[in-house]
Structures are given as C-alpha cells and as structure tokens.
Amino acid sequence: MTRLPVTARYQVGRFEVTVISDGYIDFPFDWFTGVTPDQAKQATEAVHAAGKNGVRSGFSTWLINDGERYVLVDSGPAGTVSSTSGYLPETLAALGVKPADIDAVILTHAHIDHIGGMVAGNRNNFPNAEVYMDRRDIKTFTNTSIAARAPEITKSSFAATEQLVRLYPRMQPIDGERQIAPGLSVFDLSGHTPGHIGVRIEDGGESLNLVADMLFHPAAHPALPGFGIIFEMDKAAADATRARFFAKAAEEGALLAATHMPFPGVGRIVKDAGALEWQPADWTYGA
C-alpha cells in the first residue's frame, strides 16, 4: 500500500506551519520511568492507545514558511529508532520543497528521533541551512566521557550529534532565549535533555509553541509529570520541568504542538475539576 504524505497545516499570523508526520513507533512499555511496565500498559489501554508492543506515538516535525524563508524544526528519526519512520524527505518533496530550499533548521534537542534526519546516510541533508541547537546539548552529546557512562539506548544520539557537528559547520549554538527571525524565537525547556528548547511562533496576536518532548502521550501527560522515559539522563530535572511547564501552560491557555502526541499533536493543557488534561485543538479548516 502506498503511504500518502501525512501533513496538517495551520496559519499563525503570517506564518504557515505544516506539521509533517515522520511516522511512528510503539514505545515499549518498559522504556518508561516513574511507572512499572504494567502501569504504562494499563494507562494506555485505558485510552485505547496501546500499539502491538507498546505506547503508539508519532514523530512530528514542523515546516515553517514566513513567506520568505523555510524553517524546519526537528528532522525525525529517519528510520533509526523505528522502521516505521523516515518519511520527511518524501513528504517535503510532495510539498514541493527541496532540501536545498530549507534556510534554517532549529533542533529542539539532541535525541536521535529529532536529529536523525539531519545526518541520515552520514550526509549533510540540508546543505543551505543555518542550524540552531542549544549549546548544552551540543556539549553533552559530544562529550566522550559522558557518552561512555550513558545508557546503551542513548548511544545513537551521541553518535548522531557528533555527525551533526561535523557535517554542519554552520551550526549556531544557542544560549537561552533567542530570536531566530522576527516572530520566531526559542525558549528554555531544559530537563528532558540539558538543552531541550521550545520554539515560539508569534504574529498578529496569534501564537503556537512547539514544545517537542514536553508531553509524550495523553495517557500520561499532563496528568503525570513523573512519567518519564529512559532516555532522560536527569529524571528529577525532567519531572520538575514538566510539572512547572504543565501548570504554566494551563494557566496561559497556550496553543502547543508536541512531537509525540497523536498527530497532529496540536492542543492545549486545560484544568478539569482540578486535574490537568490534554485538549486537542479543533481542526481550523484554514490554511
């Protein structure tokens, strides 16, 4: 069966934002932290979200067009952690966008499921792009002594970051909040990784926050900030950031887009009878 490109498009002021599905994975139940594998299984079955072998989760990347430039946020796993992934190149082609047309790539963090597409085939896949990633992730994931101590499952992220730095000499390390272009800025969400960042798109009174791995799945987040994943090297920091961020996002009613939430992963954190819940955004029929 031919796979059709999976996309959803939103207009945020003058920005056209296309959510591109790079595919999916069934995250094994024993990859989660703060819960037992049985608890993870029960939580996902309760919302009919269990895949064959785990928690079925998507990989979204985002293509932003401000009318002049194409900015890509994250690049998918490119088939690395999941054989049902790696659809970014063919989807960009279907959208009429060549790799050389991408002017900038913002990477939310150094995990392989977000940077894999940058370095797939050990090539510079976006030859004209300025690349932005938080300096703390660049430092951590190119540090050979941290790599030597890191859990086996995270080794591919270290290897891919080393490739990224080598293949993209125009990489620009980010230190904290920064405007990348008018209406496009990054903000700190460190915890999941030391340099995990979000991207804020804002224009004409509208905004959308790309928050990457702040929420994994509605079965767990935002209700359970202690529900983590084994890729997190500092679980306490990841849990604390989630707890803080979930409360703040609910208070602000901010429109969010998260990588692994069910496609297109756009919605809000709302408070219902004191408990935090994920509320998918209604389809806008726009753009």
Residues making contact with Zn ion (CB under 5 A): 113, 213
Closest approach, Cβ 137 to Zn ion, in A, equals 13
CA geometry: angle at 255 spanning 251 and 260, to 5°? 110
Q: Give whichever of 41 and 111 is closer to Zn ion, judged by the CB atom.
A: 111
Closest approach, Cβ 192 to Zn ion, in A, equals 8
Q: Give whichever of 22 and 213 is closer to Zn ion, judged by the CB atom.
A: 213
Is residue 268 exposed (0-12), middle (13-18) or buried (19+ Cβ within 10 Å)?
A: middle
Distances in whole angstroms, Cα of residue 242 to Cα of each of 28, 39, 174, 209, 273: 21, 19, 21, 15, 20
Closest approach, Cβ 108 to Zn ion, in A, equals 8
Q: Give whichever of 27 and 168 is closer to Zn ion, judged by the CB atom.
A: 27
Q: Give whichever of 33 and 65 is closer to Zn ion, judged by the CB atom.
A: 33
Closest approach, Cβ 282 to Zn ion, in A, equals 25
Distances in whole angstroms, Cα of residue 70 to Cα of each of 100, 124, 148, 200: 10, 17, 37, 15
Closest approach, Cβ 87 to Zn ion, in A, equals 16
Q: Give whichever of 66 and 213 is closer to Zn ion, judged by the CB atom.
A: 213
CB 233 within 8 A of CB 214: no
